[in-house]
Amino acid sequence: MTNNEQPATGERADILDFLAKHRYFLRHTAQGLTDEQANTRSTVSELTIGGLIKHVSAVEQHWAEFAQGGRSDDVPAESEFTPEMIASWQDQFRLTEGETLAGVLAEYEKVAAATDDLVRTLDLEVSYELPSAPWQPPGVFWSVRRVFLHITAETAQHAGHADIIREAIDGQKSMG
């Protein structure tokens, strides 16, 4: 928040608080981990803590961009996915060569700060049509409010995944 901005109130404050709470839980799962541990598959899933943070950051950034104008150029038009597309998707869920836990956490902080600024300033009533995609029928619109709620739900869901992964690594739990 810049010095000239008033603190968010009402619904905007609620959205910011809800986002902050679930971002905290997600970041907490990474606390004290090495890069190797952050990239560990500790369950039968392909998911890793570092990869989940990386994925949540990318998804949040994508939806925040959508909330600013409804455009999305990264949705595949085809229903057939190439091996390259599948590999790129899988790389969202793990740390790849040259990536570090500190790096993905720093990027996540930048994305979160930018989203928070949008929560404070965008018109929550504006709606945009969701992009055409094999999994999305045409003609579905989401309000900016719903986009922010979706970001929160996505963060909460993946924080839960990360909590299970972390507990399997060394027993640490986010709660309880």
Q: Using H for helix, E for strand and C for coil, what is the string for 87-108? A: HHHHHCCCCCCCCCHHHHHHHH
Q: Give the relative orientation of helices 49-67 and 144-170 as an angle to the nearest 10 degrees.
A: 180
- State the Cα–Cα distance between residues 140 and 54, nearest whole angstrom: 27
The pLDDT value given to residue 166: 96
Whose tokens are 């899933």? That residue is: 45
Q: Has residue 5 been placed in a domain?
A: no
- Domain total in the chain: 1
Q: Are residues 26 and 52 in contact, defined by beta-carbon separation less than 8 angstroms?
A: yes
Q: Has residue 2 been placed in a domain?
A: no
- Each residue of 124-148: pLDDT tens digit? 999 999 987 777 888 999 999 999 9
Q: Has residue 55 been placed in a domain?
A: yes
Q: Has residue 88 been placed in a domain?
A: yes
Domain hosting residue 111, numbered range = 10-170
DSSP annotation of 6 reads P
Q: Has residue 82 been placed in a domain?
A: yes
Q: Has residue 18 been placed in a domain?
A: yes
- Each residue of 16-75: pLDDT tens digit? 999 999 999 999 999 999 999 999 999 898 899 999 999 999 999 999 999 999 765 555
Whose tokens are 């968010």? That residue is: 8
Q: Has residue 86 been placed in a domain?
A: yes
CATH code of the domain containing 105: 1.20.120.450
- State the Cα–Cα distance between residues 176 and 168, nearest whole angstrom: 15
Q: Has residue 176 been placed in a domain?
A: no
pTM for the whole structure = 0.88
Instruction: Report which of 28, 35, 49 is spatially closest to residue 162, judged by C-alpha positions.
Output: 49
Instruction: Report which of 110, 17, 10, 97 is spatially closest to residue 60, judged by C-alpha positions.
Output: 110
Instruction: Report which of 117, 164, 157 is spatially closest to residue 23, judged by C-alpha positions.
Output: 157
The pLDDT value given to residue 73: 56
